[in-house]
């Protein structure tokens, strides 16, 4: 396992990344606004690594440094009715906005449909806040009603259909017609399984781009199970001409399994290629001081289990189950092939436990 040692000298960090500093200067000189934006979801998606237990000081530092780096959108965590621990990026009320909204970035939370009543959400008091609503396909109708009510409360709204590629063209058209009526800030392509190839991502983007209102941004959220996330994002960046495109990323790629697109890599790429002026040093400083120590105790990255889950289009929680139960890697291929089509997209722990037991008996 690779261990990452934090740099003791910020000056050393500066000199090692001088080329990045130079790219920022070049972008500033060009002065042209980019239609490509970054949404950092470290505190939300990265929380799968450490059970969202970042600690209050680290949470505040991450937000402050990402704002200093001029990251456009910062996702602060999950909204639900269960957790109110100040050291975790789970929130049960909106009092947090009073403390964290003094930033140039837009700050937001994600809610999984069904986990937070719309009646508990007050009218928006700060225009620099957003809420992302994630939902499963079977909850589509109720979720879109929830989204419409949320939009009426004044929030910048992101609509995130999980497993976006699982929708047929007719289902997508029907959903997007409703989305156009709601008029959210963004509609997301969500590669839940981390299984999209470049061609699949581009094809889905082009289809949505033709029928989604041009005033609505497209957001791309992916998982790096096939090591294709950054390449897929670059493909969409090049293809997107007439609307805002928002790319999800996390610091050092922190996230379950193989992780996510690295915020530092994405910011540097956009500085070099898309006329942006993200400040790289605050990002690297945060990675160095906060994220490396988390990685060293709870590493993420490429693994056989997550790779095989992706190529078999299985929910990533099946890969997590495989790893947590210490199943032998020589059984991994058979394990994922044994999951039937109707069980792949929706994780079923009772079912997969039966599969595990049958494998152990056969062994």
Which residue in 200, 316, 325 sits closest to 255, CA to CA? 316
pLDDT in tens, 292-317: 999 999 999 988 888 998 889 899 88
Report pLDDT for 28.
45
Q: Is 95 helix (H, G, I), strand (E, B) or coil?
A: coil
Distances (CA, A) of 113 to 110, 138, 307: 9, 11, 28
- The pLDDT assigned to 61 comes to 95
Measured on CA atoms in the order 150, 162, 108, 297, is the torsion positive or negative?
positive
Nearest-angstrom CA–CA distance, 14 and 21: 8
112-147 burial by CB neighbour count: b if 16+ within 10 A, else e? Answer: bbeebeeeebeebeeebbbbbbbbbbebbeebbebb
Query: How far apart (Å, rounded) are the C-alpha atoms in residues 22 and 51?
Result: 37
Residue 300's alpha-carbon distances to 25, 75, 106, 254, 313, in angstroms, are 33, 20, 27, 7, 20
Residues 152-163 have pLDDT tens digits of 999 999 999 999
Mean pLDDT of 255-279: 96
As its CATH architecture, domain 13-297 has Alpha-Beta Barrel (3.20)
Task: Give the CA count within 13 Å in the CB-facing half-sphere of 224.
Answer: 25
Averaged confidence pLDDT in the chain: 89
Q: What is the mean pLDDT of residues 130-142?
A: 97
pLDDT-derived band of residue 29, with 50, 70 and 90 as boundaries? very low
**Parallel, antiparallel or unpaired: strands 73-79 and 36-40:** parallel
pLDDT band at 32 (very low <50, low <70, confident <90, very high): low
Residue among 200, 193, 189, 119 at smallest CA distance from 152: 119
């Amino acid at each position: 396992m690779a261990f990452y040692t934090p740099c003791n000298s910020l000056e050393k960090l500066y000199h090692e990344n001088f080329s990045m500093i130079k790219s920022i200067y070049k972008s500033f000189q060009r002065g042209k606004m980019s239609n490509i934006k970054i949404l950092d979801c470290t505190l939300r998606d990265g929380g799968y690594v450490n059970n969202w237990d970042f600690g209050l000081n680290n949470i505040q530092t991450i937000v402050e440094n990402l704002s200093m780096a001029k990251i456009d959108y910062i996702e602060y965590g999950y909204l639900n009715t269960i957790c109110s621990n100040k050291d975790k990026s789970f929130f049960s009320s909106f009092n947090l906005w009073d403390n964290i909204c003094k930033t140039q970035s837009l700050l937001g939370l994600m809610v999984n449909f069904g986990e937070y009543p719309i009646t508990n959400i007050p009218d928006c008091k700060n225009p620099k806040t957003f809420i992302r609503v994630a939902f499963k396909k079977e909850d589509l109708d109720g979720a879109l009603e929830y989204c419409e009510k949320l939009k009426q409360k004044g929030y910048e709204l992101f609509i995130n259909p999980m497993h976006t590629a699982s929708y047929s063209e007719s289902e997508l058209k029907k959903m997007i017609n409703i989305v156009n009526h709601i008029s959210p800030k963004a509609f997301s392509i969500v590669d839940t399984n981390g299984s999209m190839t470049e061609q699949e991502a581009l094809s889905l983007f082009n289809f949505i781009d033709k029928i989604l209102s041009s005033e609505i941004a497209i957001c791309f959220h992916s998982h790096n199970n096939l090591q294709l996330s950054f390449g897929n994002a670059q493909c969409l960046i090049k293809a997107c001409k007439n609307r805002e495109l928002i790319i999800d990323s996390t610091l050092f790629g922190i996230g379950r399994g193989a992780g996510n697109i690295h915020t530092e890599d994405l910011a540097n790429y956009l500085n070099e290629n898309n006329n942006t002026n993200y400040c790289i040093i605050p990002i690297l400083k945060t990675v160095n001081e906060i994220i490396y120590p988390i990685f060293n105790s709870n590493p993420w990255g490429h693994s056989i289990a997550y790779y095989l889950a992706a190529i078999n289009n299985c929910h990533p929680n099946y890969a997590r189950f495989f790893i947590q139960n210490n199943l032998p890697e020589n059984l991994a291929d058979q394990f994922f092939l044994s999951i039937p089509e109707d069980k792949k997209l929706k994780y079923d722990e009772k079912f997969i436990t039966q599969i595990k037991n049958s494998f152990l008996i056969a062994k």
